[in-house]
Amino acid sequence: MNLHEAPLAAQAQSLSPVDQALVDGVLAGQRRALAKAITLIESTRSDHQQRAQQVLNALLPSTGRAIRVGISGVPGAGKSTFIEALGVWLIEQGKKLAVLAVDPSSSVSGGSILGDKTRMEQLCQREEAFIRPTPSSGSLGGVAEKSREAMLLCEAAGFDVIIIETVGVGQSETTVAGMVDIFCLLQLPNAGDDLQAIKKGIVEIADLVVINKADIDRNATAVTRAQWRNALHMLRPVSPNWSPLVMTASALHKEGIPEFWEAIEKYRSALTPTGEFAAKRQHQALSWMWQLIDFGLRQHFRHHPRVQANLPALTQSVEQGHTTPAAAAYALLDYLKH
Ligand code: GDP
């Protein structure tokens, strides 16, 4: 069946027995089934992709119940220490959590800052936690897309909390902020850091800022906290019902963890009655759809035979100033009509 032509309902009905077993396994919270389903969505094979979309469609009604938390920070900020402390604490509170990573380094260097298996050793051993290292290839868009889908699978498997972790590099923070309910920045207690974040436009997307490693220098932590509060004060809040909080923590000594979670719950209870919490998810889902449409159109364009045949000459003509960029673009887009 051609996925692109099939109505959604038909896609959901046409699951093979193998895929139905996978769906049932995920719904039953079986880790093996969840890991297999994530491997399926990460596969680049087109038949796997088609099956993955069918599996996701079947699971979609069972998604959406978790709280989705993004945690970002530069390498060394203490992300894995913090997530581990938070995870162990959440498990003590009776919760189940999944940790997924969006790792921009993997597409650039082929290696991975986040993907090494020695991180979060305690959490790895817990039945109530599911930790998935990032796929080690693909563009950031591709990796992020897989993380979004993996997040839905984890929700269907019954995890209450999904943490999406990313390194504070380039585009990845904006990408992660676009897929979570609340986006948290982990900062170090030194004055240089916040200026960098302001420059990169990160301040605007932070719902919560945590100054970690407060144990190292309490004074510097207080100064950094005040600087962040000032920086955030100057911005118009995204919602009249939420002003980003600046907190301090020491992940190593497990300080500030319950307070962090209290802030997350406060955020959810401030924005749920107003409808903003649900509206944010709707907006994110639509924006994801449009990103995929844009990507698909671009692919279609690049693979079109007449575009391929004429692109080199037109590119050269624009480079040499014989054709305007606009004329070349319209001529190339026109080929799609025939
Ligand atoms: P990541 O790269 O952001 O994941 O950072 P890690 O969690 O790997 O932490 C980097 C280093 O900082 C490790 O040696 C941690 O033990 C240490 N670290 C993390 N949190 C704290 C903290 O709150 N206080 C202190 N003193 N060290 C910390």
> The CATH number of the domain where 50 resides is what?
1.20.5.170
In this structure, the answer to whether residues 53 and 82 fall within a common structural domain is no
Mutation to probe ligand 1, out of 71, 72, 81, 247 (largest number of atoms < 8 A from CB): 81
The finding on whether 128 has its CB within 6 A of some atom of ligand 1 is no
In this structure, the answer to whether residues 174 and 203 fall within a common structural domain is yes
In this structure, the answer to whether residues 159 and 72 fall within a common structural domain is yes
What's the gap in Å between 84 CA and the centre of ligand 1? 11
In this structure, the answer to whether residues 261 and 310 fall within a common structural domain is no
The finding on whether 215 has its CB within 6 A of some atom of ligand 1 is yes
The finding on whether 252 has its CB within 6 A of some atom of ligand 1 is yes
What's the gap in Å between 250 CA and the centre of ligand 1? 9
Domain count, the chain: 3
- Domain carrying residue 217: 63-273
In this structure, the answer to whether residues 109 and 216 fall within a common structural domain is yes
In this structure, the answer to whether residues 73 and 32 fall within a common structural domain is no
In this structure, the answer to whether residues 53 and 71 fall within a common structural domain is no
What's the gap in Å between 238 CA and the centre of ligand 1? 31
Q: DSSP 3-state assignment of 290?
A: helix
Mutation to probe ligand 1, out of 185, 252, 260 (largest number of atoms < 8 A from CB): 252
In this structure, the answer to whether residues 93 and 210 fall within a common structural domain is yes
In a domain, 288, yes or no: no
In this structure, the answer to whether residues 254 and 108 fall within a common structural domain is yes
Counting from 1 in the atom list of ligand 1, the atom nearest the Cα of 81 is 7
Residues 154 and 278: their CA atoms lie apart, in Å, by 19
In a domain, 315, yes or no: yes
The finding on whether 250 has its CB within 6 A of some atom of ligand 1 is yes
As given in the structure block, the two tokens for residue 29 are 């919270």
In this structure, the answer to whether residues 53 and 73 fall within a common structural domain is no
pLDDT, position 108: 47
Strand arrangement of the beta sheet that strand 67-73 belongs to: 129-132, 97-102, 161-167, 67-73, 182-187, 208-211, 245-248
* Minimal-distance CA residue to ligand 1 atom 5: 78
> The CATH number of the domain where 269 resides is what?
3.40.50.300
Q: DSSP 3-state assignment of 209?
A: strand
Helices 31-42 and 46-59, interaxial angle, to 10°? 130
In a domain, 291, yes or no: no
What's the gap in Å between 259 CA and the centre of ligand 1? 19
The finding on whether 77 has its CB within 6 A of some atom of ligand 1 is yes
Residues 219 and 223: their CA atoms lie apart, in Å, by 6
More confident residue, 162 or 294: 162
Q: What are the pLDDT digits (tens) for 88-137?
A: 999 999 999 999 988 766 544 445 555 554 578 888 888 999 998 766 55
* Minimal-distance CA residue to ligand 1 atom 19: 78
Q: What are the pLDDT digits (tens) for 174-209?
A: 888 999 999 999 999 875 655 565 656 777 888 999
* Minimal-distance CA residue to ligand 1 atom 17: 78
Among 33-42, 80-89, 111-120, 162-171, whose mean pLDDT is lowest? 111-120
As given in the structure block, the two tokens for residue 19 are 């895929």
Among 190-194, 219-223, 313-317, 326-330, whose mean pLDDT is lowest? 190-194
Binned at pLDDT 50, 70 and 90, residue 170 comes out as: low
